[in-house]
Amino acid sequence: MAKMTLEELRSLRDTKKKEMTQRDSGGKSAQIIIGMGTCGIAAGAKEAFDAFLDELNSHDVKDTRITQTGCMGLCFSEPTVEVAVPGMPRVIYGNVDGKVARRIVKEHIIGKALVSDHIFDKPAADIIK
Amino acid sequence: MHATICDLITDLVQNSIEACATDIKLNVEETKTNLNVVIADNGKGMSTAVLEKAKDPFYSDGQKHKHRRVGLGLPFLFQTAEMTGGNAAIKSTEGVGTTVTFQFDPANVDLPMFGNFTMAAVTLMTYGFEGNLTIERSVDGAGYSISKMEVLDALGDLNDTENLILLKNYMASQEEEIKVL
Ligand SMILES: Nc1ncnc2c1ncn2[C@@H]1O[C@H](COP(=O)(O)OP(=O)(O)OP(=O)(O)O)[C@@H](O)[C@H]1O
Ligand code: FES
Ligand SMILES: [Mg+2]
């Protein structure tokens, strides 16, 4: 890959943006929240982040947002990742390494089925807004 | 404990973000004989008393982690410096800011692996905080610099997956350029 300039970055983005407006997104997007507290980082949260990007890219999944949060207070199951797909319950996954991140993309985000063996918690309805 | 230098750097920049810094400078300079890192912020800084405590492995401000009272960031830095014969220092002025610097010997066998700087940069650039982060990076004299404001300006929404992928490719291309000699 040749060294990219900011101009090239901008024009790549504009191309993507055009494709996006032509696409009917339905306006609802899946959300991935990665716990990037110290324990999360030490446990490999950046590898999970990288794997999410790679897998979403290779399956050409659009309309997904990835945000980071600090400590989730769940050290013992780091890296922790929260996933919200419209029409599905919000789920927290624990011990998300690169492999699990790829499964979450394929099974949960694309296949609309929970990755049950890595579910840490389903917060009670009154905790989430 | 952190597995790589890049994890440690991420942690230290997060300290700056947590200290409400609006301007953070990260310098990462590698040569054959030296790894030189500077993290300078204009955050809330530390009093002399807090600074002394911050070097203590059994200190964290007690608010952040409900289940843990032990900070991992700074202690890991000092421990690594001690173990590998490197240097680490913090200068901080309350209300003005904090500068953390360290120099490690890349050839030391006890030094953790350097790790993935591309993902560290992507993570830090897109961590939700208001301020700016400027990265200066060089390997054996060849380098690049990039700031969060420039990235925001080029890409806009930094939580959108497509933009994140573009940013990752951008950072990877910068890293590749300085590593291939
Ligand atoms: N850049 C900074 N500006 C102001 N205060 C800082 C800075 N870096 C560290 N501190 C202070 O030093 C303390 C110890 O930092 P350290 O990174 O070791 O632990 P922590 O951030 O509290 O927890 P952890 O990093 O494990 O999540 C912090 O709680 C904070 O009070
Ligand atoms: S990051 Fe683990 S308890 Fe906060
Ligand atoms: Mg810290």
Q: Tell me whether residue A89 is in a domain.
A: yes
- The residue whose C-alpha atom lies closest to atom 4 belonging to ligand 2 is A71
Residue B15 has pLDDT above 70, yes or no: yes
CA atoms within 13 A on the CB side of A103: 16
Determine the Cα–Cα distance for residues B16 and B23; give it in Å rounded to an integer.
9
Nearest to A35 by CA among A122, A86, A94, A113: A94
Q: Encoding tokens for residue A74?
A: 């769940």
Q: Tell me whether residue A7 is in a domain.
A: no
Which residues constitute the domain of residue A76?
A: 30-120
pLDDT tens across B98-136, in order? 999 999 999 999 999 999 999 999 999 999 899 999 999
What's the whole-number mean pLDDT along residues B129-144? 95
Q: Cα-atom radius of gyration of chain A, to the nearest Å?
A: 16
Overall domain count for chain A: 1
pLDDT at B11: 92
Q: Are A1 and B173 in contact (CB under 8 A)?
A: yes
Distance from CA of A106 to the nearest CA of B (A): 15
CATH of the domain at A53: 3.40.30.10
Which residues constitute the domain of residue B153?
A: 5-180
Q: What is the mean pLDDT of chain B?
A: 90
Answer yes or no: do B162 and A50 touch at CB < 8 A. Answer: no
Cβ-Cβ contacts under 8 Å for B85 (sequence gap 6 or more)? B105, B108
pLDDT at A115: 94
What's the whole-number mean pLDDT along residues B149-155? 96
What's the whole-number mean pLDDT along residues B30-41? 96
Residue of chain B nearest A1, judged by CA positions: B173
Instruction: For chain B, report the end-to-end CA distance as a whole number of angstroms.
Output: 32
Which of A13, A47, A57 is opposite residue B155, by nearest beta carbon?
A13
pLDDT at A128: 44
Q: Tell me whether residue A23 is in a domain.
A: no
Answer yes or no: do B119 and A49 touch at CB < 8 A. Answer: yes
Helix (H, G, I), strand (E, B) or coil at A6: helix
Overall domain count for chain B: 1
For chain A, what's the residue count? 129
pLDDT tens across A80-92, in order? 999 999 999 999 9
Q: Are A109 and A53 in contact (CB under 8 A)?
A: no
Q: Tell me whether residue A16 is in a domain.
A: no
At A38, the amino acid letter reads T
Q: What percent of chain B has pLDDT over 90?
A: 76
Q: Encoding tokens for residue B63?
A: 């608010």
Ligand 2 neighbourhood includes B69 CB (under 6 angstroms): no
pLDDT tens across A15-48, in order? 888 777 665 555 578 999 999 988 899 889 999 9
- The residue whose C-alpha atom lies closest to atom 2 belonging to ligand 2 is A75
CATH of the domain at B128: 3.30.565
Q: Tell me whether residue A4 is in a domain.
A: no
Instruction: Report how far ligand 2's centroid is from the alpha carbon of A43 (Å).
Output: 11
Q: Cα-atom radius of gyration of chain B, to the nearest Å?
A: 16
Nearest to A92 by CA among A30, A29, A34, A38: A34
Q: Are B167 and B119 in contact (CB under 8 A)?
A: no
pLDDT at A19: 79
Q: Is the peptide bond before A79 cis (omega within 30 degrees of 0)?
A: yes
Question: To test the ligand 1 pocket, which listed residue (B38, B51, B64, B74) has its Cβ within 8 A of the most ligand atoms?
Answer: B74
Q: What percent of chain A has pLDDT over 70?
A: 86
Instruction: Report how far ligand 2's centroid is from the alpha carbon of A61 (Å).
Output: 30
DSSP A33: E
Q: Encoding tokens for residue B33?
A: 């004989």
pTM: 0.89
Determine the Cα–Cα distance for residues A97 and A1; give it in Å rounded to an integer.
27
Strand B35-41 versus strand A81-84 pairing type? unpaired
Determine the Cα–Cα distance for residues B167 and B71; give it in Å rounded to an integer.
31
Q: Are B93 and B45 in contact (CB under 8 A)?
A: yes
Give ion ligand 3 contacts, CB < 5 A.
B 15, 73
Q: Are B47 and B94 in contact (CB under 8 A)?
A: yes
